[in-house]
């Protein structure tokens, strides 16, 4: 029988009946009918249902973790989410993959990428947790916003986007988790255009092609002219946020190039 206490833990006092239905009926009875449908199959359909609704909150994370426990491999969840992308929607798959990578990626990344002890690995992981993010938010004047899924393909690591309620000129607060940076890119325009970065939190870097990277701190302003190949992002050990101001112009576009190599990033 599946033992569940999440309902009583979270809502036992506030909504005792809901807690009881959650723990004793949904999990204690329905999830527990393994003779009718295996836990593995129940995990598959639950993940499918949650992703289809666009739910990628802690409940989704719980069910991904449960799916892993119930025997779904990394290869299988990648295939499940790829298949679902066509039925549930591409952006939902992007969001789901971000969380699946956390759940299935944990062991392999810490073993492959950690050059130090286990303690080092967990310390490094610790600076990118939800707790670290909410600590960082407390000292930041602007909202961190939502996962920057629309541009995720042009970023290494997790970034977040919060459009400021500005008219006339687009202004976005962009937050990079430690080590996150965007690919080399170029802002194009027929006239006007370009980008202004106003640094508002943490510590990061800006680098133009062929030049040394420059360290950025809150209060620093970077004027990026059109046609200049560059990248911006967080220091490896710090969160970083800048406001990105889109300078108005004619026929503005972005050209996305290769990711920043480890060598460039060892600033
Ligand atoms: Mn830029």
pLDDT digits (tens, 9 = 90+) for 32-85: 999 999 999 999 999 999 999 988 888 898 999 999 989 999 999 999 999 999
Enter the tokens of residue 129: 């947790």
Confidence of residue 116 (pLDDT cuts 50, 70, 90): very low
For ligand 1, the distance from its centroid to the CA atom of residue 128, given in whole angstroms, is 23
Question: Does the residue 21 lie in any domain?
Answer: no
Q: Do 107 and 53 share a structural domain?
A: yes
Q: Do 150 and 114 share a structural domain?
A: no
Q: Which residues surround ligand 1, an ion (CB under 5 A)?
A: 195
For ligand 1, the distance from its centroid to the CA atom of residue 39, given in whole angstroms, is 47
**pLDDT tens-digit map of 131-170:** 899 999 999 999 999 999 888 899 999 999 999 876 788 8
Q: Which of 100, 132, 164 is the last residue of a domain?
A: 132
What range defines the domain where residue 182 resides? 142-265
Q: Do 122 and 177 share a structural domain?
A: no
**pLDDT tens-digit map of 174-231:** 999 999 999 999 999 999 999 999 999 999 999 999 999 999 999 999 999 999 999 9
Tell me the average pLDDT of the chain: 88
Q: Do 198 and 146 share a structural domain?
A: yes
pLDDT at 265: 67
Structurally, the chain folds into a number of domains equal to: 2
Percent over 70 (pLDDT), the chain: 90
pLDDT at 170: 86
CATH number where 45 lies: 1.20.1290.10
Rounded-to-integer distance, Cα 181 and Cα 233, Å: 4
CATH number where 167 lies: 2.60.120.10
pLDDT at 266: 59
Cα torsion angle, 64, 67, 71, 76, sign: negative
The H-assigned helical ranges of 15-70 are 16-20, 39-53, 58-69
Q: Which of 106, 132, 158 is the last residue of a domain?
A: 132
Percent over 90 (pLDDT), the chain: 71
Q: Do 68 and 178 share a structural domain?
A: no
For ligand 1, the distance from its centroid to the CA atom of residue 97, given in whole angstroms, is 25
List strand residue ranges (DSSP E) for the chain, in order: 146-147, 155-156, 159-163, 171-176, 181-182, 185-188, 191-192, 195-202, 204-208, 214-216, 221-224, 230-234, 240-246, 249-250, 253-256
Q: Do 168 and 111 share a structural domain?
A: no
Q: Do 160 and 249 share a structural domain?
A: yes
For ligand 1, the distance from its centroid to the CA atom of residue 156, given in whole angstroms, is 14
Question: Does the residue 46 lie in any domain?
Answer: yes
For ligand 1, the distance from its centroid to the CA atom of residue 185, given in whole angstroms, is 6
Q: Do 261 and 161 share a structural domain?
A: yes
Rounded to two decimals, the pTM is 0.55
Q: Which of 84, 111, 132 is the last residue of a domain?
A: 132
């Amino acid at each position: 029988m599946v033992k569940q206490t999440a309902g009583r833990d979270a809502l036992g006092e506030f909504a005792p009946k809901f807690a009881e239905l959650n723990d004793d009926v949904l999990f204690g009875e329905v999830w527990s009918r393994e003779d009718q449908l295996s836990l593995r199959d129940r995990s598959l359909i639950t993940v499918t249902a949650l992703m289809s609704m666009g739910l990628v909150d802690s409940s989704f994370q719980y069910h991904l973790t449960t799916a892993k426990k119930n025997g779904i491999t990394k290869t299988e969840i990648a295939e499940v989410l790829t298949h679902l992308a066509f039925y549930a929607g591409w952006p939902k798959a992007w969001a789901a993959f971000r969380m699946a990578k956390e759940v299935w990626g944990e062991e392999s990344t810490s073993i492959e990428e950690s050059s130090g002890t286990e303690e080092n690995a967990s310390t490094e992981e610790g600076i990118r947790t939800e707790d670290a993010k909410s600590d960082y938010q407390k000292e930041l004047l602007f909202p961190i916003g939502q996962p920057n899924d629309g541009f995720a393909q042009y970023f290494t690591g997790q970034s977040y986007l919060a459009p400021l309620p500005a008219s006339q000129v687009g202004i976005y607060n962009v937050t990079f988790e430690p080590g996150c940076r965007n690919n080399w890119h170029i802002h194009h325009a027929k006239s006007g255009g370009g980008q202004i970065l106003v640094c508002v939190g943490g510590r990061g870097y800006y680098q133009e092609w062929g030049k040394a990277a420059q360290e950025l701190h809150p209060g620093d302003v970077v004027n990026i002219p059109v046609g200049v190949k560059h990248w911006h992002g967080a220091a490896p050990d710090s969160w970083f946020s800048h406001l990105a101001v889109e300078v108005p112009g004619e026929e503005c576009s972005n050209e996305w190039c290769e990711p920043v190599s480890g060598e460039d990033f060892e600033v």
